Structure 1
Amino acid sequence: MSGLVPDLVAVVALLTNGLVAGLFFAFVVAVSPGLRRVDDVAFTGAFRAINAAILRPAFLVVFVAAPATAVLLAVLHVVDGSSASAWAVGAAAASVATFVVTVARNVPLNEALARASVSGPTSASAARRAFESPWARWNTVRTLTGVCAVLGLAAAAVAAA
């Protein structure tokens, strides 16, 4: 499968999925470990600020484009009968899984943290206990699915070449 449109879709899928996986990986290796070192009030304040700051058009466009372009690329490969179809379909499934985990697991935790009372150290501690471990666990899951999406897209590109 070759041509301007399929090649452009492949590039955009790889780029957007790479950005999403990289963002989530940054939380695994730097943001979450860094925030683990601060007190509960600082943690809840910082995570609330991060959650509010990320809801920008640049992130939202990339976040939605990642699974959309991965699925479109998989469809193009399957319709073409490409030898890269299996890789593209697997990558699309992983990208969609990344999106679903974020929307179904991480976002509700973010929203619960935003609604939580953190008027003092005791309430901030309770909010953190309810948030930190499950959020980190689901972030690790979506990081792994995001990396699988990127690897699958790269393998599809190689197989299609």
Structure 2
Amino acid sequence: MTTLSTTALVAATVAAGLSAGLFYAYACSVLPGLARGDDKTFVEAMRGINIAIINPWFMLSFLGAPLLAGVAVLLNLHPGPALWWTVAGFAFLVATLVITRVVHIPMNNALDAGRDGYAQLRERFEAPWVRWNVLRALVTIAGFGCLVGALVSSR
């Protein structure tokens, strides 16, 4: 691997780790904590979180991880374990984007636009959003793990 491809892979790994940690934290602390609140608290908190998360720091890691992993693939087209680990990591991170775009964003938008009572909004939103977030966390963790595998195998 060249210095440039190693740098891209390290940066992708760090960004993927940050995203994986975020989705993991949601799955094991944020969402279980919100589940203990009443309907209004849950809905309003999720609405607030969905606005707050759209910020440059989150976007840097969330979009940067697959972008940098793709760059790492292109800079290291030498067949071998590091390449295949990087390709797998890239695929998992792209899957994270797809899950977010196809599932979470539409659900977040529906929650934001919803004018039903808090109980009805929560009823439609919470269980599927939580299930898909667990899947998203697992997929992102897999992407992170694959990039770590690429770093280890490139030594």
Query: Does the alignment reach a TM-score above 0.5?
Result: yes
The total of aligned residue pairs comes to 155
Deviation, structure 1 residue 56: 0.8
Which AA in structure 2 matches 1:98? Answer: T
Alignment gaps of 5+ in structure 2? none
Per the normalisation by structure 2, the TM-score is: 0.95
Which AA in structure 1 matches 2:107? Answer: L
CA distance in 1, matches of 2:81, 2:115: 54
1:12-27 to structure 2, matched below 5 A, reads 12-27=11-26
SS of alignment partner, residue 115 of structure 2: coil
Deviation, structure 1 residue 43: 0.6
Deviation, structure 1 residue 64: 0.9
The answer on 1:158 being equivalent to 2:146 is: no
Show the counterpart of 1:127.
121
SS of alignment partner, residue 98 of structure 2: helix
Per the normalisation by structure 1, the TM-score is: 0.92
Work out whether residues 6 and 72 of structure 2, in 8 Å CA contact, stay in contact via their aligned partners in 1.
no
Work out whether residues 4 and 75 of structure 2, in 8 Å CA contact, stay in contact via their aligned partners in 1.
no
Deviation, structure 1 residue 73: 1.4
What CA deviation, in whole Å up to 9, does each residue of 1:41-74 have, x standing for no partner? Answer: 1110111011111111111122111111112212
CA distance in 1, matches of 2:54, 2:125: 19
- Measured on the aligned residues, the alpha-carbon RMSD in Å equals 1.1
**Corresponding residue to 1:96 among 87, 94, 97:** 94
CA distance in 2, matches of 1:61, 1:108: 21
**Corresponding residue to 2:132 among 135, 138, 156:** 138
CA distance in 1, matches of 2:131, 2:145: 21
**Corresponding residue to 2:106 among 105, 108, 127:** 108
TM superposition outliers: structure 1 runs of 4+ over 4 Å = none
Show the counterpart of 1:68.
67
Show the counterpart of 2:81.
83
Alignment gaps of 5+ in structure 1? none
The answer on 1:117 being equivalent to 2:111 is: no
